[in-house]
Amino acid sequence: MNVITLSDAQLALVRSTLQKQQDEILGDLNMGNLSTPAADLLNDHFDLIRDCLREIDDCNTPKAIPAPTLQQSAEPVWGGTTSVANVLGVDPKKLYNLKQAGKVRAGYHFRKEGRSYSWNVATVSQFLSENSH
């Protein structure tokens, strides 16, 4: 499941935009001269927007949730491919693709331990944040 985090200002903009759309649809419905399928479609759209506005208004969770931060320690934190990928929110294949492309350095971003690899959470996180477009 993906989570979308909105600031209070962003949430207010979404609410305002939905309210404007609802008002426009209500105006179109009040004009009349609509075919039955068009009126049904507008009614469905109006109901969907109304329900979204109710969910925003009735929301009991915080409107802005701070993004998780990685704790930096004096010693690097190394972990397996899957666990580091989960912490960083990326597909484990992305780590291997970066290694294969020579974009991350052995001993700094990753190290081979037997048949598997360990990844430095802090340095890989920094690399990903600096190279995300």
pLDDT in tens, 3-15: 677 777 888 888 8
Higher pLDDT, 115 or 73: 115
Reduced to 3 states (helix: H, G, I; strand: E, B; else coil), residue 18 is helix
What tokens appear for 110 in the block? 């990753």
pLDDT of residue 75: 57
Q: In what order do the strands lie in the sheet with 116-120?
A: 78-80, 116-120, 110-113
pLDDT of residue 69: 61
pLDDT of residue 124: 93
Strand 116-120 relative to strand 110-113, pairing: antiparallel
**With bands split at pLDDT 50, 70 and 90, how would you rate the model's confidence at 114?**
confident
| Residue 133 and residue 118 in contact, taking contact as beta carbons nearer than 8 Å | no
Q: Mean pLDDT, to the nearest integer, of 82-103?
A: 91
**Side-chain-side CA neighbours of residue 26 (13 Å):** 9
pLDDT of residue 66: 58
In whole angstroms, what is the distance from residue 133 CA to residue 123 CA?
A: 18
- Look at residue 93 and tell me whether its pLDDT is greater than 90: yes
In whole angstroms, what is the distance from residue 99 CA to residue 109 CA?
A: 9
**Side-chain-side CA neighbours of residue 130 (13 Å):** 8
pLDDT digits (tens, 9 = 90+) for 26-84: 888 888 788 888 888 989 999 999 988 888 877 655 555 556 565 555 556 888 999 89
Q: Which residues contact residue 33 at a Cβ distance below 8 angstroms, ignoring those fewer than 6 apart?
A: none
Find tokens 């190279």 and name the residue.
131
- Domain locations in the chain as residue ranges: 8-58, 78-130
